[in-house]
Structure 1
């Protein structure tokens, strides 16, 4: 229960609704008990045909309160029957019972009404906090976790917890109070009979708790497996083109079906155990009722210490305990399941974000001098990608990073933007370590155009405004013209208001890339990072994109990670990397004359 208790802190902002829920649950329990107690006068009117005049009883102290109440009740019934007649008294009693049941159900509705606001508020706040964590986590977090598992925690696990918030309130307030009020009424009617109920309740509770022991463990397996098949689904939808191209549909179908089968098996085990709660508690309750009928019959017919009308009312009250007892059993199981979900949610909420701002970080507004990469080393897991790497990038210059795949080019871009932190050394902008600059202002200095044009299921305009939400229509048009994208945007059905589909799939590769450039141009940062921005394009698209890039890089500090060496011939400094180290650097012509690594790379691409 420890995990679920931690999640309950989300109820605090809605404690007003919780108090109102508790208040109306108390009324529900009270009116529920009184509605059954009110049946006793009806039984007395209907079944007692040997009435005689009664004398008003005298109160003789608390020790004889039960006899006094019973005698006064009989006196009250007989007096009113003599005064108004049996049928009229019966009508009054029925009206009272209907009123009590009305108040009971009204209280129940109001309790549920306020709990709805509380449950949905908890759901909203929990999801908001989880999404905030999802967005704030560094990229490294998602190289270790399945995306589908994270989605599962935000959907299925949160729903499980939301439903259990109500179960907690029912389990600690409404149902126990219903049982307590009912037991008090039963004690007043017959203490002997009630002793039997007290004997059977602990036995029932023990049996039910034994059934629920393994529910949390089973529920955890269910939620984990849901994360697995959601991951497979997410991968399938993202890579459908490749799956179809390689006829791999059956492979992925098999992976999904295996995961879905495990989910099916675990779910059956959990649900079957949960489904035992109601029948077991009802069976135990009926056994209790059976024993009460035998012993109560003895008190009525042989011992003659209990009137028949009170005994029938007592049995009704005893049966009234069964419903809350079943509800407590179900709520207990529900909370055990929710504890497993709460554990998975807290793993996400309490996971440490390794890339954070220092206290009172520098808010850097501009870039004035130089980017200094000083003796940095970095590894993703065990093997170093960069080792003792240093580089100076002066303001207004274009520096190109070239080399074979795995040489560390893209890693430098990830470190400059603090998507990852260096293991050793430092990266400074104008002499300030980027770890001392707020992430917001650091990334505000930079624009990124990557090899994969990441666009969102929204309009062209909203995709461009990502870095500048308040951009005017004129600014949008200027950015589109610089990026050579205005020509195709104006031909779209609704221009800048056209929705480009999931991941921009309504556009060609070249069009998507030009929109990515337009987005970076609109942001207008002093530092531009171009990560193999033309490598996935055809010749015509590359020409248009390259032209757009050259316009964008004018009067701007640019770091270009190049795959096609023809695109970086005009760079101020070309840095050739191999296994995380600089092997050559200089201008295009200088490096060709050296006939070293760069010359070999150019020759290979020329042959290709």
Structure 2
């Protein structure tokens, strides 16, 4: 219950008004429900002719249950005297119907306002998760499986909704029914109720033991579902490789093992979950029989203050506790299962975002002079990927980064927009450490074109205009023309409003890259980061796009990663990286004459 209270404390403050109304309506519903049961006692007294008629109107000087009971008995007695017992039973029946109508009316009102709380909290959890995923640094996702993150966003949130939110109504409503019924029982016979209090904790202890084990198994089940979704996502993404290597059976066997493991976990989980109702049914019936035996013996021996009809009324009140208690125990089972999912969700919500604005970060709307990498070192875990890199990039320069795969080229440019933060040293723009600049302003100065084009399942237009506000159709078309994409876009069925499919799978590799380039062109940033921007283009497209990029880079500062050395011949400075260090620096001609590592790479490509 402590975990549930923590969950509600975190997410219910915006819905305080709804919570108060729900509590009020549940209280009134339980109160009128108790009145409807209380009226059974005088009805039974009339039916069995055991209740003495009250002919003297009681004087009500103050409000009390005893005075209200006497007053009600007086009115019933008057009906019996004037109209007979049958008419009195009709009036009592009509009054009970009225009480039940008020009970169910307030109960429905409580459920009505609970809908806002239930759905609102689930929406807020899902929104917080998505916002957190967008905020977290890239390093978090390199350690997590995408399928497991998707499982938490979907399956775990759904489980919280089904288990916790569905149970809130019972958790808010049933305590009032139990409390009011217990107060009535204490008023009727405190000694018999004391005996009941001894029995109930025993039943509660047995139910609680099963509930704890349910939470552990639920956690294992949700973890396993994350593994299944991860495998599914990986295999769908790599379906071409699976088919090419005839690995369908191997892929299926891997999936089948995880699926079978999930089956075993969920079987044990459901067996325990379905045990909740029969266990509570058995325990409830056992307790009722014990109370019936004990209380009935007292009534038969005249050792109790309760009359026979009052004892039947007492049993009705007690039975009114049993059903809510059973539902309460079932709700606790569901809550335990849902809280296991909430713990998995909190693994994401509780992650610290290390790349964020400082409290005193400054705004920067333009780039004026120079980018400086000063003694920059970086490591992902323990081994350094970059080692004391120092590099100056003047405004308007094109700096090319070349070297073998794994030499640190992509890592170096990823540090500039703060996808990662440097481990040692610092990166400065116009003399200001980028960690002191507002993150939004910093990234607004840059445009990225990645080695693997990242496109969305949307139209050409929306992919090109992604992240840019207040663009016109002419702007999008112009960017597409510069990137040599206008011709093939126009040839599609709906032109710029044609959907490109999941990750742009309806396009060729070269077409994807040209859309990605058009997006960077439209943003029109002062700093360009091109990570193998032309590597996926055919020869004709490469030439046209390379010319467009060169024209675009004339008035901009550009950092270009290239494996094809032919594309960076005209760069102002070429830096050769090897094992995280800049080992050579100069123009194309200077590095050729140096006959070092760059010359060797050039000779290999020429050959």
TM-score, normalised with respect to structure 2: 0.93
CA drift at 1:184: 2.4
- Compared CA separation, residues 74 and 133, structure 1 to 2 (3 A): closer
What is residue 552 of structure 1 aligned with on the other side?
A: 552
Alignment check: 8 A CA contact 2:371 2:430 kept: yes
What is residue 35 of structure 1 aligned with on the other side?
A: 36
1:80 aligns with 2:82: no
What is residue 516 of structure 1 aligned with on the other side?
A: 516
What is residue 16 of structure 2 aligned with on the other side?
A: 15
Alignment check: 8 A CA contact 1:357 1:437 kept: yes
Alignment check: 8 A CA contact 1:3 1:343 kept: no
What is residue 426 of structure 2 aligned with on the other side?
A: 426
- Compared CA separation, residues 307 and 487, structure 1 to 2 (3 A): same
Alignment check: 8 A CA contact 1:355 1:420 kept: yes
CA drift at 1:316: 2.0
Greater Cα shift, 26-35 or 243-252: 243-252
What is residue 495 of structure 2 aligned with on the other side?
A: 495
SS of the counterpart of 1:466?
coil
Alignment check: 8 A CA contact 2:58 2:70 kept: no
Alignment check: 8 A CA contact 2:398 2:572 kept: yes
Alignment check: 8 A CA contact 2:58 2:74 kept: no
SS of the counterpart of 1:363?
coil
What is residue 128 of structure 1 aligned with on the other side?
A: 127
What is residue 529 of structure 2 aligned with on the other side?
A: 529
Alignment check: 8 A CA contact 1:55 1:75 kept: yes
Q: How big is each residue's C-alpha offset from its partner over 1:410-440, in whole Å with a ceiling of 9 and x where there is no partner?
A: 1111111211111111111111111111111
What is residue 195 of structure 1 aligned with on the other side?
A: 194
CA drift at 1:76: 4.6
What is residue 506 of structure 1 aligned with on the other side?
A: 506
User: Separation in 2 of the partners of 1:580 and 1:263?
Assistant: 44
1:235 aligns with 2:234: yes
Greater Cα shift, 278-287 or 329-338: 329-338
CA drift at 1:302: 4.4
Alignment check: 8 A CA contact 1:223 1:341 kept: yes
What is residue 252 of structure 1 aligned with on the other side?
A: 251
SS of the counterpart of 1:213?
helix
TM-score, normalised with respect to structure 1: 0.93
What is residue 108 of structure 1 aligned with on the other side?
A: 107
Q: How big is each residue's C-alpha offset from its partner over 1:14-41, in whole Å with a ceiling of 9 and x where there is no partner?
A: 0100001101110121122222222233
Alignment check: 8 A CA contact 2:484 2:541 kept: no
- Compared CA separation, residues 195 and 366, structure 1 to 2 (3 A): closer
Correspondence 1:371-386 to 2 at 5 A = 371-386=371-386
Greater Cα shift, 341-350 or 9-18: 341-350
Q: How big is each residue's C-alpha offset from its partner over 1:478-506, in whole Å with a ceiling of 9 and x where there is no partner?
A: 11111111111222222222221111112
1:99 aligns with 2:98: yes
Alignment check: 8 A CA contact 2:132 2:349 kept: yes
SS of the counterpart of 1:151?
helix
Count of residue correspondences: 603
SS of the counterpart of 1:382?
coil
1:44 aligns with 2:51: no
SS of the counterpart of 1:212?
helix
SS of the counterpart of 1:467?
coil
CA drift at 1:54: 5.5
- Compared CA separation, residues 352 and 386, structure 1 to 2 (3 A): same
User: Separation in 1 of the partners of 2:125 and 2:71?
Assistant: 56
CA drift at 1:225: 1.6
User: Separation in 2 of the partners of 1:327 and 1:266?
Assistant: 25
CA drift at 1:134: 0.5
User: Separation in 1 of the partners of 2:395 and 2:53?
Assistant: 110
User: Separation in 2 of the partners of 1:65 and 1:455?
Assistant: 72
User: Separation in 2 of the partners of 1:215 and 1:175?
Assistant: 22
- Compared CA separation, residues 71 and 450, structure 1 to 2 (3 A): closer
User: Separation in 2 of the partners of 1:193 and 1:363?
Assistant: 73
What is residue 340 of structure 2 aligned with on the other side?
A: 340
Q: How big is each residue's C-alpha offset from its partner over 1:155-200, in whole Å with a ceiling of 9 and x where there is no partner?
A: 23333334424535633x4212211211222334344443332221
- Compared CA separation, residues 130 and 435, structure 1 to 2 (3 A): same
User: Separation in 1 of the partners of 2:252 and 2:490?
Assistant: 42
User: Separation in 1 of the partners of 2:585 and 2:65?
Assistant: 102
What is residue 364 of structure 1 aligned with on the other side?
A: 364
CA drift at 1:471: 0.7
Alignment check: 8 A CA contact 1:4 1:338 kept: no
CA drift at 1:554: 2.7
Cα RMSD (Å) of the superposition? Answer: 2.5
What is residue 284 of structure 2 aligned with on the other side?
A: 285
- Compared CA separation, residues 53 and 370, structure 1 to 2 (3 A): closer
Structure 1: 5+ residue stretches without partners: none
User: Separation in 1 of the partners of 2:298 and 2:377?
Assistant: 88
What is residue 225 of structure 2 aligned with on the other side?
A: 226
- Compared CA separation, residues 70 and 597, structure 1 to 2 (3 A): closer
Greater Cα shift, 158-167 or 251-260: 158-167
User: Separation in 1 of the partners of 2:167 and 2:409?
Assistant: 54
- Compared CA separation, residues 298 and 577, structure 1 to 2 (3 A): closer
1:324 aligns with 2:324: yes
Alignment check: 8 A CA contact 1:449 1:531 kept: yes
Alignment check: 8 A CA contact 1:467 1:522 kept: no
SS of the counterpart of 2:12?
helix
Alignment check: 8 A CA contact 2:378 2:424 kept: yes
What is residue 142 of structure 1 aligned with on the other side?
A: 141
SS of the counterpart of 2:466?
helix
Alignment check: 8 A CA contact 2:164 2:339 kept: no
1:576 aligns with 2:576: yes
Q: How big is each residue's C-alpha offset from its partner over 1:190-231, in whole Å with a ceiling of 9 and x where there is no partner?
A: 444433322211211122122222222222212222222122
1:588 aligns with 2:588: yes
CA drift at 1:60: 12
Q: How big is each residue's C-alpha offset from its partner over 1:69-101, in whole Å with a ceiling of 9 and x where there is no partner?
A: 877766554432221123322222221122222
CA drift at 1:512: 1.1
User: Separation in 2 of the partners of 1:75 and 1:455?
Assistant: 81
What is residue 206 of structure 1 aligned with on the other side?
A: 205
